[in-house]
Amino acid sequence: MDNKPEYTQTENVVDKPRKRGCAGHCAKFWWAYLIAVIVIVVIVVPVILLVAVPKIAQEKLDHAELILDSIKMTDSRAQNFTMSINTEIKSDGKVKARIEPFEGVMYLEDVPEHKPFARVQFPETNSDKSQTVNVTQFTAIDDMAAFTQFNTWLLHNDTFRVTVKGDTKVHVKGIARAYPVTFKKTIDMPGLRLLKGTQVYNTTVDPKANATAGINNFFGTVRIPNYSKVSFELGNVSFHNYLLDKEIGTVYLDNLSLKPGDDNVYPMRATITDLGSVTGLVIEKPYCDKENGVLPFKLRGKTVVNKGENLTYIADALATGNQTVYIDIRGTVKRSMGLDLGCV
């Protein structure tokens, strides 16, 4: 047996002390880091607040969508009217902000001068994903030519573009400062299409009435389609009445208001100064056979009077184009006088 004693050796090795790199550097150059923080606070943060935040706010406003639901023009007067605009604003809702009330001008986008035809006082809004904005206001007509041009475009076009623009300020949640932004939206508006599709029916004639003395001798019912989103209070409207490009009298519609849709039905009255030429045309070809006694009449705006005031901005627009309506004169004579008009 080996009786040699066992030896265990334990060494305690102590490494050389390491340098305190980062901590020591910071401790030594703390003043430099302090200056850097001050620079960030004094320069970078203001740049973010003055440049980045308003840029983001403007971009969010630019990407928001303005949807026009309806426009109503009531209490129409010669120099003013009451306007109600119902709209919806949609956004992504990611930036919580509040937009101050502002005045927005409305103008025809495709007319180079961009002259405002109306001014709208928008209330305070926010950046919710969807919100309804309704405005009802007294509206003075500042530029009669621009407003007449708007009504003319509305009358003639299937669609046309209107821009709403105004300067305001936005308050971003968590930041005390208010930032200037521009609200500018261009929307496609449906037009009146020159009131195509207007129907005149249930017509009667009074051959004994003295039309030359201004006594109505022709009557009927008219249905007028309104393809736009604009409602009008027009009042009493008169039209030049033409047959084969010859003016034959005047058509009158009283207490007229046009709302969107095709449910605008009103009584019609007219003076036809040469009733004999109208009935005489019905018995001639092609109107007596191919057209079955239906004649094409053309109407052009003459006057628009509401509450005793001339609405020239509507009358002048209606005077810019002729609208063709077809009237069953053979049926009119049959209903009124019991006569059957054939061909000669």
- How far out from the chain centre does Cα 259 lie? 14
* Rounded-to-integer distance, Cα 155 and Cα 239, Å: 15
Read off the pLDDT of each residue in 215-224 and give the average, rounded to a whole number: 97
- Residue 238 structure tokens: 């008169």
Q: Specify the range with the lowest mean pLDDT, choosing from 7-21, 119-133, 162-176, 250-264.
A: 7-21
> In 3-state terms, what secondary structure has residue 181?
strand
Lowest pLDDT segment from 42-51, 120-129, 258-267: 42-51
Of the ranges 114-128, 246-260, 282-296, the best mean pLDDT one:
246-260
Query: Which residues sit opposite 187 in a β-bridge?
Result: 162
pLDDT the model gives residue 97: 82
Q: Are 319 and 300 in contact (CB under 8 A)?
A: yes
pTM (2 decimals)? 0.83
What would the two tokens of residue 306 be? 């509401």
pLDDT digits (tens, 9 = 90+) for 126-154: 888 888 999 999 999 999 999 999 999 99
Please state, rounded to an integer, the average pLDDT across all residues of the chain. 87
91 C-beta neighbours (distance < 10 Å), count: 19
Within 13 Å, how many C-alpha atoms sit on residue 33's CB side? 8
What is the predicted pLDDT for the residue at 93? 74
Q: Please report the domains of the chain, with CATH numbers, ordered by start residue.
A: 64-191 (2.60.40), 194-337 (2.60.40)
CB-hemisphere CA count at 13 Å for 50? 6
Please check whether residue 163 is in contact with residue 107, taking contact to mean a CB–CB distance below 8 angstroms.
Answer: yes
φ and ψ at 232, to 5 degrees? -125, 140
- 73-92: average pLDDT: 94
Residue 29 tokens read as: 């150059």
User: CA 285 from chain center: how many Å?
Assistant: 46
Q: How remote is the C-alpha of 192 from its chain's centroid? A: 12
Average pLDDT over residues 69-93: 94
Q: Which amino acid is at 335?
A: R
**How far is Cα 119 from Cα 107, in angstroms, rounded to an integer?**
9
Q: Which of 7-16, 117-126, 201-210, 216-225 shows the lowest per-residue confidence on average (mean pLDDT)?
A: 7-16
User: 58-63 long-range contacts, Cβ below 8 Å, gap at least 24?
Assistant: 58/181, 58/182, 60/91, 60/92, 60/94, 60/95, 60/97, 60/127, 61/99, 61/170, 61/181, 61/182, 61/183, 62/184, 63/91, 63/92
**Residue 43 in this model has a pLDDT that exceeds 50:** no
Residue 246 CA: distances (Å) to CA of 92, 104, 121, 218, 305: 58, 46, 47, 17, 25
Question: What pLDDT, on the 0 to 100 scale, is given for residue 8?
Answer: 36
Give SS3 for 222. strand
Give the per-residue pLDDT at 182.
93
Residue at 22: amino acid letter: C
265 SS3 class: strand
Considering only residues 60 and 301, tell me which one the structure prediction assigns the higher pLDDT: 301
Instruction: Calculate the alpha carbon distances from 336 to 27, 202, 323, 329 in Å.
Output: 110, 10, 26, 10
pLDDT in tens, 306-336: 999 999 999 999 999 999 999 999 999 999 9
* 61/106: higher pLDDT: 106
